[in-house]
Amino acid sequence: MFSGIVEELGKVKRISRSARGALLEIAAQKTLQDTKIGQSIAVNGACLTVVELKKDYFVFEVMPETLKGTNLGLLKIGEQVNLERSLKVGERISGHFVTGHIDCVGLVRRKGLRNGNLEFVIAVPASFTRYCLPKGSVSLDGISLTLADKRNDTFSVYIIPHTLKNTTLSFKGPSDKLNVEFDILAKYNP
């Protein structure tokens, strides 16, 4: 379980693909602290298990289903990713409950100013729009955000400067793909 508050940007160091999926090496600093083999780290919002730890990077084994159902299969060496360690009992939850189980991959349709604020418009498959609840929570690449508006197969979120500066959203634009996890409460409350 995560909160959607990105702790740091990691960098893809190496990707070794095979029929069994991929080994993904991510360089990091802060999120390596106190992390042990077997623990979960959200990488662009997808919950991955640490299978190996080195001085300055993690190694994750990524299954074929995860590569297909997330944007992790599109990663390139040198690309930055959002990282968050799992929640600890007794810590504050500054975002919302994020499971790390990606619902779908959304497509950035628009990134631009609207009424003086930075807006991202995200398209998702029609079967997921029922979870787009205005003022509800949504996780984009592991970032806890508030859903502002819904139109047909798109929804919008507004990004504050702090979030833009400290996440991969500063590098994202139209046609980029983002991991989307809808609010767990929206999914399980009819």
77-91 per-position pLDDT tens digit: 999 999 999 998 878
Which residue is associated with the tokens 């930075």? Answer: 118
11-32 pLDDT per residue, tens: 999 999 999 999 999 999 999 9
Tokens of 83: 């990282």
Contact by Cβ (8 Å): 70, 44: yes
pLDDT per position as a tens digit, 111-158? 999 988 999 999 999 999 999 988 999 999 999 999 999 999 999 999
3-class DSSP string for the chain: CECCCCCEEEEEEEEEEECCEEEEEEECCHHHCCCCCCCEEEECCEEEEEEEECCCEEEEEECHHHHHHCCHHHCCCCCEEEEEECCCCCCCCCCCCECCCCCEEEEEEEEEEECCEEEEEEECCHHHHHHCCCCCEEEECCEEEEEEEEECCEEEEEECHHHHHHCHHHHCCCCCEEEEEECHHHHHCC
Sequence-distant (≥ 6) Cβ neighbours of residue 53 within 8 angstroms: 32, 35, 36, 37, 59
**pLDDT band for position 93 (50/70/90)?**
confident
Spell out the domains of the chain, with CATH numbers in brackets: 8-85 (2.40.30.20), 104-188 (2.40.30.20)
For 38-52, write each residue's pLDDT tens digit.
Answer: 999 999 999 999 999
Better-predicted residue by pLDDT, 117 or 107: 107
Residue 7, pLDDT above cutoff 70: yes
Q: 177 — phi, psi (to 5°)? A: -110, 135
User: Residue 190: its pLDDT value, please?
Assistant: 62
Determine the Cα angle at 44 with ends 71 and 49, to 5°: 100
Residue 95 — pLDDT band, cuts 50, 70, 90?
confident
